[in-house]
């Protein structure tokens, strides 16, 4: 039932790579955790980059597999124009992460469409929760890595749950407002109270 074409595998690989590069550039531009660029810095970036891979990849695969579970055709496709825009923001402080999306075709009612939309953010909330727990049970070196990866995955969940345009949130809120309010409440809370969030210092 579940399948990935050669083109899709290539697009997922490129999309994940672009996402990882953009997120790593956030560390360089916004957090500036090392005063000098050295081997330790690049080693740290490599570890964060590896831990970032499932954040984007699993989000898109969750959409795809949920759609295929309903018997629909569904594949991730890279949007070349937006992939280039996203990649260019590696060089500037302002970031865009929109290298592509899962394309689904077939008979879609409001219920199925919402379930497919929810799959991605739910995966990110789950991954973010795992990384968030690891912050408090690992040593200082890995703690910093999990701080970044958990923050990034909560960023993805919250962004995709915004009720605008083609984002996941717009499909969920027209299906069930109460489910949407619960998901957005969890996402906003984790985003705000994350150690890198607006009120995160209370957790340190």
Can you tell me the distance from the alpha carbon of 52 to that of 131, in angstroms, rounded to the nearest whole number?
11
**pLDDT score at 203:** 47
**pLDDT score at 204:** 46
Provide mean pLDDT across the span 177-184: 96
Model pTM score: 0.89
Contact 158, 187 (CB under 8 A): yes
Q: What is the pLDDT of residues 5-24, one digit of tens each?
A: 899 999 999 999 999 999 99
Binned at pLDDT 50, 70 and 90, residue 202 comes out as: very low
Q: What is the pLDDT of residues 69-81, one digit of tens each?
A: 999 999 999 999 9
Can you tell me the distance from the alpha carbon of 117 to that of 142, in angstroms, rounded to the nearest whole number?
32
Binned at pLDDT 50, 70 and 90, residue 36 comes out as: low
Can you tell me the distance from the alpha carbon of 4 to that of 9, in angstroms, rounded to the nearest whole number?
6
Q: What is the pLDDT of residues 60-111, one digit of tens each?
A: 999 999 999 999 999 999 999 999 999 999 988 888 888 999 999 887 899 9
Provide mean pLDDT across the span 133-147: 85
Give the pair of three-digit tokens for residue 84: 């280039």
Binned at pLDDT 50, 70 and 90, residue 31 comes out as: low
């Amino acid at each position: 039932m579940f399948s990935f074409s050669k083109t899709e595998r290539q697009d997922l690989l490129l999309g994940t790579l672009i996402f990882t590069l953009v997120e790593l550039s956030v560390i360089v531009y916004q957090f500036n955790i090392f005063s000098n660029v050295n081997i330790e810095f690049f080693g740290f970036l490599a570890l964060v980059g590896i831990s970032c891979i499932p954040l984007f990849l699993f989000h898109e695969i969750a959409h795809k597999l949920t759609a295929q579970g309903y018997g629909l055709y569904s594949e991730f496709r890279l949007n070349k124009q937006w992939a280039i825009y996203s990649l260019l923001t590696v060089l500037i402080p302002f970031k865009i992460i929109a290298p592509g999306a899962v394309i689904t075709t077939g008979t879609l009612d409001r219920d199925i469409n919402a379930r497919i939309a929810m799959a991605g953010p739910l995966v990110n909330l789950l991954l973010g929760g795992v990384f968030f727990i690891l912050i408090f049970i690992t040593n200082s070196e890995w703690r910093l890595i999990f701080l970044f990866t958990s923050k990034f995955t909560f960023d993805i969940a919250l962004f995709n749950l915004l009720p605008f345009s083609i984002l996941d949130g717009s499909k969920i809120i027209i299906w069930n407002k109460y489910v949407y309010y619960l998901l957005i409440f969890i996402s906003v809370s984790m985003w705000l109270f994350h150690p890198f969030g607006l009120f995160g210092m209370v957790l340190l």
